[in-house]
Homo-oligomer: A and B are copies of this chain.
């Protein structure tokens, strides 16, 4: 995307005090790339460059900065500068920025804004992070049902510079309740004197503004929408979430799920910029919980100390057997968490999935038992080989079934199935695995040879 040479050219131009030349280079870039470049500059230089951009471009580039960059630049701006910037940013982006300002900055800024802008900002900024309301925009076209197609095209032409999308317009009643949607495609194809209510689609997919934002992304993906409208609790339309925001939410959500699977807490913002303290905090909780989870394995081992002291060769196979259960379990939990998240599998499908999982696990266990029984034979003779092979089959089946069922149990208890992370499954399977292993060993080795 952004080459190092361009960055060097800009730095050279700024170093030689040739602001115009630097501006020319940056003007060639698309807004997201210009934002990445400015982020790499020292704050002073970034500010000089940003201030010299035409105001629409400045607002567009500013919208692509990460939260820390936005905050530090905004911190250096005067009240007047901020008000101008707010006047030209997209509604959802300026609401995010507003939430990042200090209380003093907010108080200084508000009187500089027009009444409508202020109200809009208050509405959007009032939704909690992670909700549909926090990513929606209030800049969209609304229509009355009795407008003609011709009138509507005129309305859209007038509003086009200020709204986020003109490709979908929402037909609402006096109470801002949605009656239908009309796409620009339909408007262009319809006779100019037809009324909007005659061509609108009445069956409108919508979501609640205080629902999780992933819900809006899911609806947009499922129904292939350009945007989905958001309603307040009274059923009135308060905003729309557009397809580009849905894509951002999907990518962010996938990061969060992956971190959960590895038992890492929530990371907001960039890993590169994260502080040591925040990284420590997001990791220490789970690590400690898992240590204490492992005490069960330890207790299992302690219980069989005599057996171990008698046949110390058993310890050789301990990590191998116990880990296989954990690995099989983490495979099946990931498959299941993902299938539950995408809606591929529903909570009621658990019995059907259990049967299949048990069959697959039996096959896996038999294959793995075959693979390790040779080693068992070499290192410990026939009875150890038998113990190892038997244990492997049982451990892989039990591990897989635990890994498969836990996400369902969590979902049923209204927890997030993704909390069934690989390390958690591994810890549980470890404890269970130790018990299975030494019990089987005890049984087989105490039999008369």
Identify the A interface with B (CB < 8 A): 1, 28, 30, 32, 153, 156-157, 160-161, 166-167, 184-185, 188-189, 203, 205, 217, 220-226, 243-244, 246-248, 250-251, 253-255, 257-259, 261-264, 267, 270-272, 276, 279-280, 283-284, 286-288, 290-292, 294-295, 297-299, 301-302, 305, 308-309, 312-313, 315-320, 322-324, 326-328, 330-331, 333-339, 342-345, 349, 352-353, 356, 359-360, 363-364, 367-368, 371-372, 375, 379, 396, 422-423, 426-427, 430, 434
Contacts and interface: CB of A to CB of B under 8 A. Distances in A.
A345 B184 contact: no
A337 B110 CA distance: 42
B259 A258 contact: no
Nearest to A267: B335
A427 B327 CA distance: 10
A419 to B, nearest CB: 14
| Majority DSSP secondary structure for residues of A touching B | helix
Given A271-B353, A290-B327, 17 more contacts: A32-B224, A254-B254, A258-B261, A261-B261, A263-B330, A264-B334, A271-B339, A272-B349, A276-B363, A279-B356, A280-B364, A287-B324, A291-B371, A291-B372, A292-B371, A305-B312, A319-B322
A267 B161 CA distance: 45
Nearest to A310: B309
A347 B150 CA distance: 55
Given A247-B221, A312-B305, A331 B283 contact: yes
A364 B221 contact: no
Contact of A188 (B166, B225, B301, B427): B166
A167 B279 CA distance: 43
B284 A367 contact: yes
Contact of A301 (B280, B315, B368): B315
Give the most central of A299, A372, A423: most B CB within 10 Å: A423
B262 A331 contact: yes
B316 A272 contact: no
A318 B257 CA distance: 30
A250 B254 contact: yes
Copies in the complex: 2
Contacts of A262: 261, 330-331, 333-335, 422
A341 to B, nearest CB: 9
Contact of A334 (B261, B336, B337): B261
A298 B323 CA distance: 12
A189 B226 CA distance: 21
Contacts of A396: 287
Nearest to A244: B224
Contacts of A343: 1
Contacts of A339: 270-272
A288 B365 CA distance: 10
Nearest to A278: B360
A397 to B, nearest CB: 13
Given A298-B316, A298-B317, A312-B308, A427 B323 contact: yes
A244 B305 CA distance: 60
Given A247-B221, A250-B250, A426-B323, A259 B301 contact: no
A353 B273 CA distance: 10
Nearest to A265: B331
Contacts of A316: 298-299, 301-302
A309 B309 CA distance: 6
Contact of A157 (B161, B189, B261): B189
B264 A331 contact: yes
Contact of A305 (B270, B295, B315): B315
Contact of A318 (B301, B337, B342, B353): B301
**Which 9 residue pairs spanning A and B have beta carbons closest together?**
A254-B254, A262-B334, A297-B319, A294-B320, A271-B339, A224-B244, A298-B316, A243-B243, A422-B422
9 contacts: A153-B188, A156-B188, A226-B243, A251-B342, A276-B356, A288-B368, A308-B312, A319-B322, A323-B423
